[in-house]
Amino acid sequence: MPRRRLRGVTFKSFVDSGSMSTPAPSTQAEVPEPPAARRIPSQRTVHGDTFMDDYAWLGDKDNPETVAYLEAENAYTEAMTAGQAELRDAIFGEIKARTKETDLSVPTRKGGWWYYARTEEGKQYGVYCRRAVRPDDTGPPMNEDGSPLDGEEVLLDANELAGDAPFFALGAYAVSPGGKLLAYSTDYAGSERFTLRVKDLVTGQTAPDEIPDTFYGPAWSADGSALFYVKVDEAWRPYRVWRHMIGTPAADDVLVYEETDEMFRVGVGLTRSERYLCIAAASSVTSEVWLRDAAQPEGEFAVVLPRRHGVEYQVEHQIGDDAADRLLILHNDNAENFELASAPLLDPASLTPLIAHREDTRLLDVDAFAEHLAVYFRRDGLTGLRIIRADGTSREIAFPEPVYSIAPGGNPEYSSGMFRLGYGSLITPDSVYDCDMSTGALTLLKRQPVLPLPGGQEYRPEDYTQVREWATASDGTRIPISLVCRKGTPRDGSSPFLLYGYGAYEISIDPSFSVSRLSLLDRGFGYAIAHVRGGGEMGRRWYEDGKLLRKKNTFTDFTACAEHLVDRGWTAPPRLVARGGSAGGLLMGAVANMAPQDFGGIVAQVPFVDALTTILDPSLPLTVTEWEEWGDPLHDPQVYAYMKSYTPYENVTAQAYPPILGVTSLNDTRVLYREPAKWIARLQAAGKGGPFLLRTEMVAGHGGRSGRYDKWREEALVLAWVVATAGAR
């Protein structure tokens, strides 16, 4: 069935023939009927419990009927949202108008070069460049209009690589330490299985060898003679590290590490000092690091600290005087929120604490420089930065707003005295700063421009307000909420609101700026982030209290935040729309079943809504590696019963649901398209209320469409649906 826009049609399936038909005209053109997916009962019995799955057949994307069904759902969604077309176009136009399309990132110095990326008006993807450092350079060279720098060398033009392909993504982009070679990888389907190539930056030639099915993050040896890369297995688990010697056939590459434990994933990298290659193997609760002299890439790797179940650690290297190098080891051995310790390079088990464990501070990362350490941490739901000088004294860098987020930027120069960081808040556009590590002084290098709309309306941060509020969960836990709205927003329940949530993997959804969000705020919306348990906003315990057999805390925290917004007069249930993606899509599906009355609409993007079916199948991508996150329902009856009590697909009932929009991608490796397809099919068959819509990108992956204009179109579709569903203008 071709993809096309259809208005006023009825979509039917034919059980007798077992095929999808061309949509026929409807006698009720104003209210199209949804597709009726065929019901083919498939029995699953685990631990004595039997579940009848009527839509398991949708898991076969090679079945023409599956594709036809997805296309029919797309046509139904298009028909049901046809009245939002003008609003979609308006929102897309606002995003585009506010964005500086021809722009330049802040260049980062590495050796004798400034590296940067730029975008050009009308082009979907970035252009990756460098310019030689000049004697008169006093800082990163910038052109305010975003035009190319004088003397620019284009290393990679993603627009040329993408060509006319409907999808394109870069997986790797790594310049060798000497600046002569570039390793890059590409994906044209959205499957996140990349093909790796090497380009000679002196001659401009790309080597004929191509290495398929690679993962993110290759690493160069110190002299650029060897490239280390990671390959994935059939379940999309990164498990092998290979060494490729430049100038030799890829068929001669050598396997240097294989992780046989299916709970573990591997990655490879270079320490900041570029003295050591590093292989890291990690499960959700345990890690192990192996090092090798980067100047001798053909040698063996040596383990730093042998793995012990439940102990996580990461390693950074700092060059010392008289070859007294040391390792910086961030670990959680008897330190739930992690401790930073140092150890002699030759005796890594002899740990000396540098920053002791604190109940209120989660240490996240450490970067080693010649004269300083930069420690990234989280406290009171906010991120922070601590600088430690060579003499052991330290300072924490202060930031002025009540809610904000910072993150380390590109800092490849080991000898630098400046620390590059990114800063932003709900009202402050993304900003790039250099922090003088000796004094703590911050220098603003660039702030994301927000251009005025064609009518002259300018973005002024002072027109908006951002606050931190706290909801109270059912067990008494206080849940932080980050909130932004225009000043003067009424507190009488009349305002529409969008509430976002995630809550898994210790991933934090920190307050950040969004150009597209302005299209909501300027239509009278408020926007809030529910920092629910399962994320990492309040430390490691926050995460532990929202996983495994405590996963339901994530869902009840979110509904508590929704009820808080209503109780405080910010909004009312019919005007409150919930949004989440991936594991946050599981959250959306769960609260739809548990508290449908709390929401006027729900957006679930690439949602993990058939969680139990997926986690029961060890052959699927990510399943075995995630048993430590969700539990192992295949072998543990208690986990099975607990997951079955909340997994969204299996708990759809005949109750009244709010309107729901599901968005997915056919080639998603992380959350298979079949999960939202089955979920929406079951909602359409069994649920009341709605409507229940499904939008499937037929050539895309977990992140949706790849080009920036395509992404803006996709976001405009979602935001227009949110505005229309909440009854806003």
Contact criterion met (CB below 8 Å) for 237 and 262? yes
Residues 6+ apart with CB under 8 A from 458: 452
In the chain the first and final C-alpha atoms are separated, in Å, by 35
Contact criterion met (CB below 8 Å) for 514 and 595? no
Tokens found for residue 364: 């996240």
The amino acid present at 680, given as its one-letter code, is I
Q: Which of 357, 372, 531, 702 is catalytic?
A: 702
The length of the chain in residues reads 729
Helix (H, G, I), strand (E, B), or coil: what is residue 699? coil
* CA pair distance 180, 176, nearest whole angstrom: 6
Quickly list H helices, 81-166: 85-98, 158-162
Give the CA dihedral 343, 347, 350, 353, nearest 10 degrees: 0
Specify whether 317 is catalytic.
Answer: no
The single residue listed with the structure tokens 């702030």 is 447
Residue 22 Cα to chain centre, angstroms: 37
Q: Which of 53, 545, 610, 668 is catalytic?
A: 668
The single residue listed with the structure tokens 């300083």 is 372
Specify whether 582 is catalytic.
Answer: yes
Phi and psi (nearest 5°) for 353?
-60, 135
The single residue listed with the structure tokens 């260049």 is 107
Contact criterion met (CB below 8 Å) for 679 and 694? no
Q: What is the DSSP secondary-structure string of 392-460? A: S-EEEPP--SSS-EEEE-----TT-SEEEEEEE-SSSPPEEEEEETTT--EEEEEE---PPPTT-PPP-
248 DSSP assignment: S
Helix (H, G, I), strand (E, B), or coil: what is residue 630? helix
Does the N-terminal peptide bond of residue 348 adopt cis geometry, omega within 30 degrees of 0? no
Give the closest residue to 664 by CA, choosing from 711, 712, 692, 696.
696
Cα torsion angle, 344, 348, 353, 355, sign: positive
Specify whether 702 is catalytic.
Answer: yes
Q: Which of 273, 582, 665, 706 is catalytic?
A: 582
Quickly list H helices, 81-192: 85-98, 158-162
Active centre residues (catalytic)? 582, 668, 702
